[in-house]
């Protein structure tokens, strides 16, 4: 068994597409209209294009209280691996990304947390190889 697709709920798919591709550097894989306003919109890492991230509309009524509670408590919805958290932190800050947690070393793992502008906190982490 392996992970094929996971999702993050987003307030605005066009805004999310811009952030996840132009700022974070993911590549759009699927963009299929679903209904009148929504899309089946997935992105992948250019380095590992197998696992897809669905930028899913946050229309379901359970989404807002769930995400609001996570953000209020500072809990990231997802974690992305990066080679160097501190370098990625500087790159993303230079692009205007707002971090809620600066890089922090915890034993052998370094992580930081940012706001994805679409209603979620996302953690980036570097683990020892």
The model's pLDDT over 112-121, given as tens digits with 9 standing for 90+, comes to 999 999 999 9
Quickly tell me which residue has 């500087």 as its tokens: 90
The model's pLDDT over 8-42, given as tens digits with 9 standing for 90+, comes to 999 999 999 999 999 999 999 999 999 999 999 99
Selection from 112, 90, 23, 63 nearest residue 121 by Cα: 112
Give the global pTM: 0.94
- Domains of the chain as residue ranges with CATH: 5-126 (3.10.180.10)
């Amino acid at each position: 068994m392996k992970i094929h697709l996971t999702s993050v709920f987003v307030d605005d798919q066009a805004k999310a597409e811009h952030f996840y591709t132009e700022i974070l550097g993911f590549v759009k894989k699927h963009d299929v209209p679903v209904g009148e306003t929504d899309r089946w919109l997935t992105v992948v890492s250019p380095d590992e294009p197998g696992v897809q991230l669905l930028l899913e509309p946050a229309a379901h009524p359970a989404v807002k209280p769930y995400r609001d509670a996570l953000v209020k408590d500072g809990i990231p919805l997802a974690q992305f691996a990066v080679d160097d958290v501190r370098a990625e932190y500087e790159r993303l800050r230079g692009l205007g990304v707002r971090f809620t947690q600066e890089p922090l070393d915890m034993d052998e793992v370094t992580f930081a947390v940012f706001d994805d502008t679409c209603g979620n906190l996302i953690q980036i982490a570097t683990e020892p190889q």
